[in-house]
């Protein structure tokens, strides 16, 4: 494959391409639209909470092969973010996953870390869909609990 392609832009920081937490994404396009496609990918990944660190472009006979090195944005990863479920589903961004524990652990009859995953699930699914998934008995219990909270809060 290396015989078919001519490197037209080398990675500027090759040492970055082995960092933990980075990811390489690839796409191909016509060489005349490489810059436009990179800008489009930059916008898309930015909306998802990533930044592009570096890129590498190889030109083939008909297409250019582009590799982008991305990682989660640091400022978003370090920011405090509260997941507030709404009636409708909301998109999850990569940096939201950074606040989750790596796994749910079973400890003394309880699932440690499950509450964070539940919050993320409710955020992503939406309260309307969540309540539709519940059996009637669970919905009735939930309504009763919500009324008790309202009564308690006055």
Low-confidence ranges of the chain (pLDDT < 70): 1-8, 16, 19-21, 74-81, 98-99, 101-103, 106-108, 152-154
- How far is the C-alpha of 128 from the C-alpha of 55, rounded, in Å? 42
Burial of 57 (0-12, 13-18, 19+ CB in 10 A): buried
Greatest distance between any 2 Cα atoms in the chain: 75
DSSP one-letter code for 33: G
pLDDT score of 129: 96
Q: Which two tokens stand for residue 46?
A: 């930015």
In order of 17, 37, 40, 51, 142, the CA distances from 44 in angstroms are: 20, 10, 6, 10, 38
Domains of the chain and any CATH numbers: 6-72 (3.30.30), 75-153 (no CATH)
pLDDT score of 153: 67
Whole-prediction pTM value? 0.48
C-alpha angle 110-111-112 in degrees, rounded to nearest 5:
105
Whether the CB-CB separation of 58 and 6 falls below 8 Å is answered with yes
Beta-bridged to residue 6, according to DSSP, are 59
pLDDT score of 1: 36
């Amino acid at each position: 494959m290396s015989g078919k392609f001519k490197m037209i832009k080398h990675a500027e920081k090759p040492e970055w391409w082995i960092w933990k937490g980075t990811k390489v994404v690839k796409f191909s396009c016509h060489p005349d639209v490489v810059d436009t496609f990179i800008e489009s990918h930059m916008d898309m990944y930015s909306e998802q909470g990533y930044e592009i660190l570096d890129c590498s472009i190889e030109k083939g006979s008909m297409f250019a092969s582009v590799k982008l090195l991305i990682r989660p944005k640091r400022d978003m990863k370090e920011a405090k973010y509260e997941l507030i479920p709404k009636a409708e589903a909301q998109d999850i961004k990569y940096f939201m996953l950074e606040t989750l524990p790596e796994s749910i652990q079973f400890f003394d009859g309880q699932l440690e870390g499950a509450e964070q995953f539940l919050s993320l699930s409710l955020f992503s699914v939406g309260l309307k869909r969540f309540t539709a998934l519940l059996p009637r008995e669970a919905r009735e219990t939930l309504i009763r609990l919500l009324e008790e909270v309202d009564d308690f809060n006055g």
